């Protein structure tokens, strides 16, 4: 049985029953997503999603801010699963959410893309005025580990094509530092087809908000486009529609920085795996495309 946060699922179910009175039966582990997640059933027969992480006060404080952002996004009509319970048991922090109908998205249709853009539109202006460090966070994140989703330290000592791409990414970060204040948006920060569910063409859930923060929601459009570039799920016409939305709503200097950050994130997880060559190739193509688009937009 998979482990998450150094605790097996059976141990966590015992803890929740003993310390919270939450009696849950395991249904199955989910295979998708970067974090361990399990489908469970409560005493009333409701199917729920259980996740947990090691307890850390800093992480708990961040989780409280995440909960607040998610609540604001739900009020704006964003399809986010409802939280049933959360908190600390022993040395972990758990989250229990409703299980939403829908399946992982294998293809982005025109209608589904418009729904994704609509979610990002709802994120605009929904921040808690905590975006002052947005530019510094992203630029510095090309050089130091600032989030579990992007850990450049794993590339220390890299050579060859990986090292050349890394130098290009860091040069882009140095050359494209926007100076204007960041927007007051909610940024999902891991937005894209991999973290949404749909049913019969309707977007039913946007998942995995654990890394959300305040900043520029345009970043989420770039990560969506990266997903479509690296793992094709849309026609060229649909990608062009997304490109127009990005250039319409996002500062050209920011576009270059966001593209570099999106590539680096994927380079760090693919390093020394079977996907390394693919990510390096797509990374250069992605940077070329957005450098050209940003230049044309600024001109």
- DSSP class of residue 233? -
Beta-bridged to residue 214, according to DSSP, are 186
Is pLDDT at 208 greater than 50 in this prediction? Answer: yes
Which residues does residue 3 pair with via DSSP β-bridges, in sequence order?
8
- What local confidence, expressed as pLDDT, does residue 292 receive? 86
The model's pLDDT over 97-119, given as tens digits with 9 standing for 90+, comes to 999 999 999 999 999 999 999 99
pLDDT at 2: 45
- What backbone torsions phi and psi does residue 229 show, to the nearest 5 degrees? -75, -45
pTM: 0.91
Among 283, 239, 251, smallest CA distance to 264 is for 283
Half-sphere exposure of 218 (CA within 13 A, CB side): 23
CA-to-CA separations, 161 to 80, 179, 239, 256, 280, in angstroms, rounded: 39, 31, 27, 20, 7
Average pLDDT over every residue of 247-251: 94
Tokens for 77?
A: 């009509």
pLDDT at 293: 80
Say how far apart CA 85 and CA 158 lie, in whole Å. 43
Q: How far is C-alpha 203 from the chain's CA centre?
A: 17
What are the angstrom distances between the C-alpha of 185 and each of 72, 126, 132, 188, 241? 11, 5, 11, 10, 22
At residue 253, the pLDDT reads: 87
What is residue 38's predicted lDDT score, i.e. its pLDDT? 94
3 state DSSP class of 268? helix
pLDDT of res. 31: 67
Residue 92 to residue 38: CA distance in whole angstroms: 15
CA distance 296 to 299: 5
Q: E strands, 164-212, where?
A: 185-187, 196-199, 202-206
Structural domains present in the chain: 3-98 (3.30.200.20), 103-298 (3.90.1200.10)
| Integer Rg of the chain from CA | 20
Mean pLDDT, to the nearest integer, of 119-127?
Answer: 97
Query: Per the structure block, which two tokens stand in for 177?
Result: 């530092």
pLDDT band at 255 (very low <50, low <70, confident <90, very high): very high
pLDDT, position 7: 78
- Note the pLDDT tens digit of each residue in 147-206: 999 999 999 999 999 999 999 999 988 887 777 899 999 999 999 999 999 999 999 999
Half-sphere exposure of 109 (CA within 13 A, CB side): 9
pLDDT tens-place string over residues 36-69: 789 999 999 999 999 998 888 888 888 889 999 9
pLDDT at 177: 72
271 CB-contact burial (10 Å; exposed 0-12 / middle 13-18 / buried 19+): middle
Alpha helices for the chain (secondary structure H): 9-20, 57-75, 110-123, 134-140, 160-175, 218-230, 236-249, 252-270, 276-298
Of the pLDDT bands very low, low, confident and very high (cuts 50, 70, 90), residue 34 is very low
Specify whether the CB–CB gap between 86 and 63 falls below 8 A.
Answer: yes
């Amino acid at each position: 049985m998979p482990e998450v946060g150094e605790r097996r699922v059976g141990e966590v179910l015992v803890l929740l029953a003993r310390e919270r009175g939450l009696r849950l039966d395991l249904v199955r582990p989910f295979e998708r997503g970067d974090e361990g997640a399990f489908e469970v059933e409560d005493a009333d027969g409701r199917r729920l999603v259980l996740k947990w992480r090691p307890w850390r006060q800093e992480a708990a404080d961040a989780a409280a801010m995440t909960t607040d952002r998610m609540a604001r996004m739900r009020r704006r009509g964003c399809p986010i699963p409802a939280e049933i319970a959360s908190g600390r048991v022993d040395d972990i922090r758990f989250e229990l959410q409703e299980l939403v109908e829908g399946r992982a998205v294998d293809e982005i249709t025109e209608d589904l893309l418009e729904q994704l853009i609509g979610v990002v539109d709802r994120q605009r202006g929904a921040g808690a005025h905590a975006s002052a460090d947005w530019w510094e966070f992203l630029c510095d994140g090309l050089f130091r580990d600032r989030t579990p989703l992007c850990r450049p330290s794993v590339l220390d000592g890299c050579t060859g094509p990986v090292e050349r791409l890394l130098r290009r990414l860091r040069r882009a970060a140095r050359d494209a530092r926007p100076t204007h204040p960041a927007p007051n948006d909610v940024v999902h920060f891991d937005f894209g087809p991999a973290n949404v569910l749909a049913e019969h063409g309707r977007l039913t859930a946007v998942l995995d908000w654990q890394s959300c923060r305040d900043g520029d929601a345009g970043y989420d459009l770039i990560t969506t486009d990266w997903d479509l570039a690296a793992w094709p799920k849309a026609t060229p016409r649909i990608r062009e529609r997304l490109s127009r939305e990005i250039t319409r709503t996002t500062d050209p200097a920011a576009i270059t920085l966001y593209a570099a950050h999106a590539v680096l994130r994927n380079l760090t997880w693919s390093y020394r795996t079977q996907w390394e060559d693919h990510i390096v190739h797509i990374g250069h193509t992605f940077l070329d495309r957005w450098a050209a688009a940003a230049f044309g937009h600024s001109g």
